[in-house]
Structure formats: structure tokens, C-alpha cells
Amino acid sequence: MKQKIISVVGPTAVGKTRLGIEISKQIGGEVINGDSIQIYKEFDIGSAKATLEEREGIPHHLIDLLEPDAEYSASDFKQDVKQKVQEIHGKQKTPVLVGGTGFYVQAALYDFNFSSVKRDHQYSDRLLEQIEQDGIEPFYKRLQEVDPEQARKIHPHNIRRVIRALEVYETTGKPLSVYEQEQLDTSYYDSYIIGLTMERSLLYERINQRVLDMVDQGLFEEIEQLYDRYGGDIQPMKGIGYKEVIPYLRGEYGKTEAIELIQRNTRRFAKRQLTYFRNKLPAIHWYEITPQNAEENFKTILADLEGFLQNGENS
């Protein structure tokens, strides 16, 4: 019998964190973080990491898991989620996977087989030497030519993932995106996926305000300390809300422009998140959230969850 898991997905600032905690309080659940930046220690304000007070005593897993300079992948996340689901069920609790990093959530729920294509270390080492000599641009352009779908999901500065995608294509003749599409089309778990949406103009207002709140909470000071300690090339510093501040710290533009860039990039990211979830996770149960009726929205979701918890998604 498949193990039950609840997942809460949706765009940034829509209210996933609050809902995940509320669900856990009501059903006896524990939260598993599904945000790729919150996994890192010290990356607190810019990742909108819930404070201990905000967690209301609900255990949270895979938060503050790694040192800031550690590397981490969706494959690592899948394995960590599998372990945490076992632990939580062992305590007679229900895991609640909460986060907006679409590929991480998809990989965990659908048990992606990342090891199906063996590594060619000679190729990857050679490619890394060429990138160090010529820069990443020509190789990212090559990826755009041979696997445009994968290129859209990988930031050009994520050298490790660019190399892996090219390695898969050059050694097998098949794009990595095709391998991913061939993964299981049914969930590894008995899962109930909750998707939160919000009227776009309202969501964008919330995003803009949340960025201003983060600035007031010390976002720029947090990033300056991290930048001084680790530099700008570590994996979590590539995240939205962090990468826009680095040029400001270098004196390339002012604070106001940095804030506006964070707001703009976060709005664009929210749009991409919705597109990703709608295309890649067709089994989502969507709920439109209105802040003035948030409590009623949550009651509706919790009522829908009762049947799942009693009978399972496919009963």
C-alpha cells in the first residue's frame, strides 16, 4: 500500500507556508520543506523561511539542512524526502510537503530515476575544463540548441546542471528532458496535491509588499553578510531575492533599483511557477485563495482532505 502524503504547491506569496502549518495542526502532520533555498542555513529572510514562532510547534524537515556552500540537487531532495516520509509515518503522522520549487516536488512525488543515465566523468571533466577556459555562454547556447526545454529550466550560471544535461545528450543522443518525460506518470505515493492560486493583480501586490517587508526585516544586511563570507557563486545565492542584491553590493546600481528588480523577478517567477505546476502536475486540486476569506478557503481544503485521509486519492 502506498504511503499517504499531502503536498501544497503554488506561486510564491500565495500562502503555502501558512496552509501547510494549518493542515499539520488539524490532521497531526509534519511539514517537509519543498523550497530549494530554505534547505540552506543562514538563507532566512530572502527565502521567506518560517520562523520558529510561525511554525507553531509543528516539526519542519529539510529546513536549515545544509551549509551555504554545499551543493544540492533534485536527486538529493528526492532521496531526503523518501527518508523523511518513512520517519514521519513511523510516528503515525502525515507528511505535508510544502514548497514552490516545482521540479523538486515533482521529482519527489513521482520518484524520478536520476541514475538511469550513467555518468561519463571523462566527458564532464573535459567540459568543465573548456568552460573554465571559454566561459559558460557557448555551452549554454549548445544546450539551448539540443535540449531547449531543459535549458529553460536551468540557469546559465548553474554550471553543474548544464554539464549534466549536455553529458546526457552527447553520450546517449537523447535529451535529458525526454528522459524526464518518460518517468512514471503516477505518483510514488498516495498523494493529494493542493494547488493555491490567487487573482493575478492581488498576487502581484502581495509579492511587491512582501519584498518591502523583507527589506525592513534586514534582507540587504543578510545578503551582505553572506556575500562577504561565501561570495556570490554559491548555489543558493543564485536564487531570486539574493542574486539581485549582489550588483548593488558591488556599487553597480542603487538600492531602489535592486528592490524593484527583486519585485519584478519574483512576479515573473510566480507566473512561471503556475505554468510549471499546471503543465507538470496534472493531478493538482486547485483552490483560489482570497485573503479576506482565507479561513473559509482553508476550511474547504481541510474538508476535502478528510476523504483522502480516510480512503485515499484513488478510492
Q: Would you list which residues are annotated within the binding site for substrate?
A: 12-17
Collapsed DSSP state (helix, strand, coil) of residue 254:
coil
Query: Which residues contribute to the annotated binding site for ATP?
Result: 10-17
CA 265 – CA 244 distance, rounded (Å): 9
Q: Is 41 left (phi over 0), alpha (psi -120 to 50) or beta?
A: beta
Collapsed DSSP state (helix, strand, coil) of residue 240:
coil
H/E stretch holding 87: helix 74-90
Query: Which residues contribute to the annotated binding site?
Result: 10-17
Which residues lie across from 5 on neighbouring strands? 191
The string of DSSP codes covering 129-191 is HHHHHH-SHHHHHHHHHH-HHHHHHS-TT-HHHHHHHHHHHHHHSS-HHHHHHTS-SS-SSEE
CB 40 within 8 A of CB 68: yes
Q: Which residue has the cell 523577478?
A: 265
CA 156 – CA 84 distance, rounded (Å): 31
